[in-house]
Structure 1
Amino acid sequence: MEGNNSLAADLSGTDLSNLFPLIDRENVHGLNLAIPEQAKAVIKPWSEREDTTVYADSGVDDQIIIHVPFAQNVRVKSIILKLGRGEATPRHLRVYANYPNIIDFSDAENTKPHLNISLLEGETAVVEYPLKVAAFSSVHSLSLYFRESVGGELSRIYYLGFKGDVRTLRKEGTNKLEVPAADAADAPLVDRLAQKTGGQQTTAR
C-alpha cells in the first residue's frame, strides 16, 4: 500500500505536463483490437486514469499496436500506463517515434524501436515509465507495440497517457523572422535582395 501511495504522490503533479490536450485523438488508431475504437477510448483525461470501465482488448492474439499522433511537436518525457491484470498484462512494449507508416506487425518487427520497455507485472495502479528524452525531444507521433502478455492470449490496456512539454521555440523563432518580411515597407528591399541573388546565380551558371 505504501508503494501505491508513493506512486500516487509522484504522479499527482503530472497533470500540468500531461500531453492529453495535444493528442490528435481523431486520428489515433490501433491494430489487432477487439473493437477498433478502443484505441481512442483508452487515451483519457488525467482525472480518469484509474477508470476500469473503459479499456482496449487485443483481438486474435496478445499483440496490440496503438498509433498516437500529436497536434504539434512535443517532447515526451514519460509514458503513463494502467494495464490489464493477471494474464492480461502485456510484458513488453516497443516505442517508435515519428514512424507514422508502421501499418502492420511485420513492419514493427522489422523496424528498430527507439526504446524497449519491460513492463511491470502484477501492478494494478497507474505506472509511469520514463523515456530517454534525447530520443523523444521532437515527436509528432508515437507508435506503441504491446506484446507477450502473461497468459499469452490477451492483452488489456485501461489507460494510456504521456508526460512532457510543447516544442514551439523553433516555430516562434521562424515566425518572428518572417514578420519583417511581411511588412509592406520592407517588401521592396526583400525583392531587391531576391533579384540580386537570382542574378548572381544566373551569372555563376
Structure 2
Amino acid sequence: MAAASATAIHRNQVDLSDFINWSGIECLNQNFSHTFTNALSQTCRDNDSLLLESDADEQILMYIPFNQVIKLHSLVIKGPEEEGKTVKLFSNKENMGFGNVNDYPPSDTIVLSPDNLTGKPEVVKYVKFQNVRSLTIFIEDNQSGADTTKVQKIALYGTTVETTDMKGLKKIEDH
C-alpha cells in the first residue's frame, strides 16, 4: 500500500507533465472518444467534462515515458463515481500488456478511496521511484463496479534528476 495521503503537494515538487515524452505514451483499452490526453494534459485535465474512459472493461494500462530521469513523489487521480480504485504503479517496466501485467510485482499499489474523487494527492513509495525513465499505470478496477472506468485527471508530481547530457560533452584534444 502507498504511504499516507498527502494534504498538499510538497513544496519542492513540480508538475512533471513538461517532462513527459508525449509521442511515446501508450494507453491500452482506452475509448478513442475519451483518450489519455483528456486526463493527463495540463490543458485538458482541469476541465471536468473531458476524461479518459476505458473501452472493453474497467481496466486501463498506460505507459508514460519521460524525456529525462525523474523522481516521482506523488500523484493525483481524480474522477467521477467510475473512477479507478486499485492502481498499480510500475517504474521502468516496458512492453507491458494485459497478458503480463500480473507477472511483475508493482513498485507501489494505491487503493483509492472516495476522497480521491476530489483530487486528493497520494504519496508513492518514494524510494521505489528515484530514477524513473518511464511509469506504467495499471488501473485494475473502479470505485462503483461499473463496466468502464473514467478518469478526469492524472497529475504526476516530483523532481527531475540532474544528469549529464552526453551529447554536450566534447572530445578532449591531445596536447
Aligned twin of 1:191: none
8 Å CA contact retained: 2:52, 2:151: yes
Structure 2 letter corresponding to 1:183: I
8 Å CA contact retained: 1:80, 1:128: yes
Q: Alpha-carbon deviations, 1:153-192, whole Å to 9, x = none?
A: 1101111111111112x426x789x55xx232xx25xxxx
Q: State the distance in 1 between where 2:88 and 2:101 align.
A: 9
Aligned twin of 1:64: 60
Given candidates 20, 38, 45, the residue that maps to 2:17 is 20
Distance of aligned partners of 1:19 and 1:122 in 2 relative to their CA distance in 1, 3 Å threshold: closer
Secondary structure of the residue aligned to 2:32 is coil
Given candidates 113, 119, 126, the residue that maps to 2:119 is 126
| Aligned pairs for 1:181-192 within 5 A | 182-184=171-173, 187=174
How far has the Cα of 1:41 moved from its partner?
A: 2.9
Q: Alpha-carbon deviations, 1:123-176, whole Å to 9, x = none?
A: 4321211111111000010000002212241101111111111112x426x789
Given candidates 138, 145, 148, the residue that maps to 1:154 is 148
Given candidates 95, 99, 123, the residue that maps to 2:93 is 99
Larger Rg computed on CA atoms: 1
Q: Which sections of structure 2, spanning at least 5 residues, go unmatched?
A: 1-5
Q: State the distance in 1 between where 2:146 and 2:154 align.
A: 21
Question: When you count helix as a share of all residues, which structure comes out higher?
Answer: 1
Structure 2 letter corresponding to 1:75: K
Q: State the distance in 2 between where 1:155 and 1:26 align.
A: 24
Q: Which runs of 4+ in 1 moved over 4 A?
A: 11-14
Aligned twin of 1:3: none
Aligned length: 169
Structure number with the bigger relative contact order (C-alpha 8 A, sep ≥ 6) is 2
TM-score, with structure 2 as normaliser: 0.84
